[in-house]
Every structure is written in C-alpha cells, then in structure tokens.
Amino acid sequence: MKQESKVTLTKYAICFGIEALIAFLVIWSKGFFTESTAVNIQILSDAFFVSGVLMTLFAGMLYVSSEGALIGIGFVLRNVALAFVPMGRAKHELYADYRARKLSEAKKRNNSCILVTGLFFLVLGTVFALIWYVKFYNA
C-alpha cells in the first residue's frame, strides 16, 4: 500500500475514533443500558448527531480559518499585545503586509476526513431519529 494511502486511512481512523469517543461519552452519560428500546434509540440519535455536528462545525471552522477569515483578529490581538511591550510599536506593520505574510506562510491542508466522518455520523444520527419517529412516535 502506498504511503499516501496509509496516511489518509490513518487520518480517517483518527477522526472516526474521536467521533466514536464523543458518541460513547454521550451514550454513557445518558445511561443507555438502563432504558427502554425507544429511549435507547433516542440516545443513539443524540449521540451520533452531537458528534457529527461538532466535527462538521470543526471542519467548517478549519476551512474558514485556512481561507484567511480570522487573520484580522490575529492582527488586532498582536497589536494590542505590542502596545504594552516597551518598544513594541517599532515592530508595527500594515494590515496588508501582515495579511500577505500570513497567507504566504499558511499551509494548505486536506481536512476533508473531518468533514466526511462528521457528515457520516450526522447521517447516522438522523437515521436513528427517523427510526424512532417511525416506530415509536405516538405509539
């Protein structure tokens, strides 16, 4: 197997493991084994939905950050910190120069594994919600 394929599979395995851990913690905190079947399906729906939403939102934040949307916040925080440092204003640079430097230093990473596994868990949570709705709603 190619080295690139191994790295990709490792990324997916790590993302899947993190999401499974989040789902397990939700299941464990709600007392999965002490409830009826209907409540257990609701718990499974909650667990997979929560982990899927968290990872999908995390993937979105990584995408927004990699596109440079948060560079302005870093620029402001840097200038606030330099205002309190003696001779810190001597290191001041214009926002355009700061943005160009940060974008040139930024590495483009492939974080699609986070999005794909997040959407997978989100779909699983939706499937369990639909199962509960069809089988147990108004039963």
Contact between 26 and 46 under an 8 Å Cβ cutoff? The reply is yes
pTM attached to this predicted model:
0.80
Mean pLDDT value across the chain: 89
**Which range has highest mean pLDDT (48-52, 61-65, 105-109, 133-137)?**
48-52
Contact between 42 and 126 under an 8 Å Cβ cutoff? The reply is no
Q: Rounded CA gap, 125 and 106, in Å?
A: 35
Is 1 exposed, middle or buried, given 0-12, 13-18 or 19+ CB atoms closer than 10 A? exposed
- Show me where the domains of the chain are located: 3-68+106-136
Instruction: Read off the pLDDT of residues 54-108 as tens digits, 9 standing for 90 and up.
Output: 999 999 999 988 888 888 888 888 888 888 888 777 777 888 888 888 888 877 7
Q: Rounded CA gap, 125 and 44, in Å?
A: 7
Looking at residue 94, the DSSP 8-state letter turns out to be: -
pLDDT cut 90: percent of the chain above it: 48
Segment holding 118, helix H or strand E: helix 112-136
